[in-house]
Structures are given as structure tokens and as C-alpha cells.
Chains A and B, each alone.
Chain A
């Protein structure tokens, strides 16, 4: 089962590379995504046993991240199919920044998209730190062609930045792996199996493990988009097509976050949880602050969403660092962020198609030009800021509550200030773009179902999670946070 989850998208990806017909490729894409989602659900409910001697082991955390990723991938690929077929019809129509898209590189694109899904599944399923590292590395290489979809100068620059910075980050986490081996050389005989490490954590060389954690935090933190290593993120998210941005933000960042979360779990068992947690709280708060700071001056709405991802990864990092109940909140936050941000990026693709610009100042009157898109955009922006009944409200509220009850008044009030600032920026952008006067002579944009329903579905899901938390999910989250009892 676990092997199928990883191999199906990769094999399908290799197969699509040889399919010439665009429509057929889109069908394969959606079908594979659906199969992948079904397999993930099946594995979630039947429970997966470790395979390959524990190298691949889908535990509760892995399942949670896998299912979120798979769901988002399915929704995004439905959108992508609609997007690409529309583009195929309007062949050579100007899109975005006056760029003509030819479908000559569509094969590479579909293949990369599916392989990207496979590598992310590998990250979720990894039960071995080395395999985790290989998986995260592979996601970079699989997603680089996706960022370079539009083949413009700026997307090329974004790709270069993305590959270069993330590769350096990956190098740092390799050093972290080496140091973990050193610190466990006596206790676990240099093994990198997560279960072995957790079992032998008490006997580890804790000083060396601290150094290792710092390397992991910097290395995987680069990929998670934590400040100050976030510089690749706005460029890559801004320049790639909408459904790729949604996957980068909603699934890829989670995978890197999972890497840090795993190491944090080992540190927690080794008794240095307060050290690793403290660093995570610090870097999380820094990320929220940096995101707020950069967002105020941001004129590009896609980059604004990208900075919002930095912010939310920071909040999730904060929650995971706090330990205890806050871990539940952090997991909830990760899920809700994936749903909401994925939905927002998909909607931003509609806006880009309708207006042909990424400057927020040049987009107005969405309520008349593209009313359904506009409404989704407005509601999505409110949801991402944690306005009830969005699911993000619950997770942010829980984290805040934990911070206050833990006596962290200064950081909690700083967080509140930053969140308020971000809310202001987001609300202004939303109001101006939705209610503003529509440009003279701007005809309304045809909104196809394939490009509205995916966003609507995700929005409804996050609202549902805000109104009602199923007991099963809560149990599941409790199991995860069980490893982080203070």
C-alpha cells in the first residue's frame, strides 16, 4: 500500500512524458490524483504497516500530512486540467505578463507535476532520516520545472533562486544528518531509523544533538520558508502558475515542516525539547514578523499570498515548539492553511487570467468582472486571516491560549500585533479588489466550472473544519501530540 502510494504517481508521471495528446495527459493527471487520494484514504483507515524494514513507515503524522497533500493535489489537478485545456483552446493567447504559452513543454510539465506528488508522498512516508532527506531533496528537483512553467525571465530567475537556495538548505540538513549519526553513535549505533532514534534518545549525546537540530532548522527551514531563509519563496510562488503555487504553498512547505517536526520529536524524547522548542518559537515569531513587515509594502497579490505562507508556517512552527496541546493546534493549523491557501492561490489564477496583471492596484471591480471569483477571493482572504468560522481561527486561538497560559506574554502580544497588521493589509487588498470600480470597458470574464468549483470546495471544507471538528480527527491529533507531553 505504502509503496503504491509513492510509486503510482511516479510511474504515471514517467508514462505521461510519452503521451503527446494534451487532453489525454490531463485525464491521466486527474485520474492518478484521484487514485492517489483513494489509496491514501484507504491506508489511513486500514492502517499501514512499516515496509522495507521500516524505511517507509506511515504513522499518524505521516498519514495526516499525506492525506492533506493528496486532497490538495487532487483539487489542484482538477483546476490544472481546466486551466490547461482552456489555454490549449486559446492557444497563444496572452496570459499574465504578456507571455505566450506554447504547449510544447506540456509533457515535461505534467510529468514533473506527478513525480512531484510522488516525492512528497515519499517525504510523508519516510521512516528513516536519510530517506526523508532524499525525499525533500527530490521535491526541489521535481518542482523546479513547475516554477519555470511560464518561461519568462522572471520565472527563470525565480527558478534559479529556488534551486540554489534550497539546495544549500538541503546541504545544511545533510550536515544535520551527519551530526545526528555522531550524537547517536553510542546509543543507536549510527542508525537513522526514526523509531530507533526515538527509542535510544535517552542515551544520545545531547550537546551534539542540539547542534544537529540547528542545522536541520536552518536546512529544512529554508524549504519551509522560515525567515530569514524565505527569500526564494515569494519569487517562486509569485512566478509559477496558480495551481503550482497552491501545491508549493499547501503541500511542499508542509513536507519540509514535517522534516523539522520529526527531528523535534526526537529532540523532545532526548530531553532537549525546551531547546528545540525555544528555537522554533523564536524562528516562528521572526517569520510572522518578517511576513507582516514585507506584506505591507507588497503590491503583487500573489507575492502577498506567498508572504502569508511564511506567516502561517511561522505560526505552525510556534505551535509545534510549544508542545502539549499546542501541537494539536499546530497540526490543525497546517491542515487549514493548506486548504485555505491552496484555494486562494487557485482563485488568484482566475484573477490573473481575467485581468492579466499581478499588481493588486490594477485589479478592481471583481464583483462585476468576475463575481464568483471575486466572492471566493474576498471570503478566502478573510478566512486566511483567521476570521471565524474559518478553521484557522480555532488553531490560532488555541496556540494563543497556550502561549498565554504558558506565561509567554511578550511573544503572545507580539504575535497579536503582527496578526492584526496582516489582517489590515489583507482586508484592504480584498476590499479594494472586490468592491472597487471596474475599469472602463472591461468586459466580464467567463468563469468556467472547472476553475470555480475546486476553490469553492476547499473553502467549504475549511469552514466546515472551523464549525465542527470530527471526534475521529481530534483523536488522531491527540495521538500525534501524545509524543509531546511536557
Chain B
């Protein structure tokens, strides 16, 4: 495996840690866009140049420009507090992230991916990115931060698809990007409504009614 690709995977992992550790939503969104830029380099690893250029541009536009802009706009419109408001503290989050990182490397070592033609570091990075996304969805209170978590989760799936070195995954790649686009648009609308309805976007204190199901999100 060449060094430059390895560095791209490492940068993905580092970006994940930075997102876990960041305490400002604005910073979180900036890091997300940075991760989009890093991810846009991945198609060059396994596609021919015209296809790679196409997907690189697509990812750059969608993940590095459109999503962050939409999220920043949502943040501005709803005038949310700046903190990401964790349920799990930042330091504990990093420690958990470390555990997840070790687990992903162990898992990929066990699955013997290299024997099946994939890149081991890439798959470990992908699995870790997926964990990071899920963790942010679970451990952060704000709706916007949860959307950030979901985008990270999808980034991980995209990376997984690329790292498995499949020939015919163009469909999947398009799928991931379209799926995300719809999701972010929809969630943008919902976030806007949450704000209108509640004057805040804190999903934890939505159910103020005793009969409603407590513990809003998983």
C-alpha cells in the first residue's frame, strides 16, 4: 500500500478524534467539512482518473461545501448555543474513541480483510469512522450535532465501500451521496421546526409530557 493513501486514512481517523473532542458546534461543522475534503481524495485509490475526478468533485461539493453551509445556516437561523452539549464528557469521549479505535483494528485484523483484497488500514479507519458517527448521534444532545454524527457515519460507510476494493460500487457511491443529500435537507427542515416549536434544538428535553416516551433518542 502506498504512503499517500495511508496518510489519507490516518487523516480520516485524526479528523474523527478532533470531531469527538471539539466542544463548539461551529468547529464541529468545520471539521466535518475538512473530513469531506479528506474523503474526496479516496476515490483516486481505486477508480480510473475520469471516474475518480467525478466522485472527487461530487464529494467536495456535497460534503465539503453544501452540507457544512446548510448546517451553518441552520445554526445561524436557530441561534443555538455554541456548545455541542455532550452527554458523555469530552475526555471520556476521547477515551471511548480510543477503545473503539483499538477494537476496529483488532476486528479488521481478525476478519482477514487483506486476504480478500482490501486495505486493512482503510477498513479499520472506516469502521472507526462508523463508530464515531454512531457515538456522536448517541452521546450529543443537540439535533444539529446528531446530524453531524449521521454525516460522519455515512462518511464511514463510503470509506468502507472504497476500501473493500469492489469494482462495481459506483451505484453504492452514488447511493450514499444521494441518501445523505436527502437526509440533510429533511433534517434541516426538522431542525428548523424543532426550533420554532421549542425555542431550542435540544432533543433531550422535548418530551416534557409525562405520557410521552422518555429518553428521546437511542
Contact = CB atoms under 8 A, between A and B. Distances in A.
B164 interface: yes
A175 B166 contact: no
B29 interface: no
B217 interface: yes
Nearest to A239: B212
A182 B176 CA distance: 17
A190 interface: yes
Interface residues of B, number: 44
A186 to B, nearest CB: 10
Contact of A299 (B150, B179, B197, B211): B211
A157 B190 contact: no
A290 to B, nearest CB: 14
B45 interface: no
B182 interface: yes
Contacts of A192: 171
A165 B179 contact: no
Given A133-B175, A178-B172, A161 B217 contact: yes
A450 interface: no
Given A130-B172, A133-B175, A156-B197, A178 B160 contact: yes
B213 A164 contact: no
A190 B167 contact: yes
A390 interface: no
B134 A168 contact: yes
Contact of A300 (B116, B190, B211): B211
Contact of A181 (B169, B197, B212): B169
Contacts of A175: 130, 157, 160
| Interface residue SS majority, chain B | helix
B213 A235 contact: yes
Contact of A156 (B171, B179, B193, B211): B193
A154 interface: yes
Nearest to A228: B218
Contacts of A130: 171-172, 175
Contacts of B22: none
Contacts of A299: 211
Contacts of A171: 150, 153-154, 157
A359 interface: yes
B53 interface: no
B212 to A, nearest CB: 6
A178 B186 contact: no
B166 to A, nearest CB: 5
B16 interface: no
> Interface size for chain A: under 10, 10 to 19, 20 to 34, or 35 or more residues?
35 or more
The CB with the most chain A CB atoms within 10 A, among B143, B160, B206, is that of B206
Interface in A187-211: 189-192, 205, 208
A154 B207 contact: yes
Given A163-B187, A190-B166, A234-B213, A157 B207 contact: yes
A160 interface: yes
Contact of B179 (A137, A160, A190): A137
Nearest to A133: B175
A50 B117 CA distance: 34
B202 to A, nearest CB: 11
B218 A165 contact: yes
A157 B216 contact: yes
Given A137-B179, A160-B194, A185-B166, A177 B211 contact: no
A100 to B, nearest CB: 14
A74 B2 CA distance: 59
A223 to B, nearest CB: 14
Contacts of A141: 182-183, 186
Contact of A165 (B171, B176, B211, B217): B217
B216 A161 contact: yes
B194 to A, nearest CB: 6
B146 interface: yes
A235 B215 CA distance: 12
Contacts of B146: 164
A235 B198 CA distance: 18
Contact of B161 (A164, A178, A191): A178
A267 to B, nearest CB: 19
A178 to B, nearest CB: 5
Nearest to B206: A157
A191 B167 CA distance: 10
Contact of A178 (B153, B164, B167, B211): B164
Nearest to B176: A174
A157 B175 CA distance: 27
B3 interface: no
Interface string A134-152: 1001000100100010000
A449 interface: no
Contacts of B212: 154, 157, 235
Contacts of B153: 168, 171
B168 interface: yes
Nearest to B196: A156
A163 B189 CA distance: 12
B137 interface: yes
A153 B197 contact: yes
12 contacts: A133-B175, A154-B206, A154-B212, A156-B206, A161-B216, A165-B217, A168-B150, A174-B157, A175-B157, A185-B116, A191-B168, A359-B211
Given A153-B206, A154-B209, A167-B183, 17 more contacts: A130-B175, A134-B175, A137-B179, A141-B183, A154-B212, A156-B193, A160-B203, A164-B150, A164-B217, A168-B137, A171-B154, A174-B172, A174-B179, A178-B160, A181-B168, A190-B168, A208-B116
Interface of A: 130, 133-134, 137, 141, 144, 148, 153-154, 156-157, 159-161, 163-165, 167-168, 170-171, 174-175, 177-178, 181-182, 185, 189-192, 205, 208, 231, 234-235, 299-300, 359
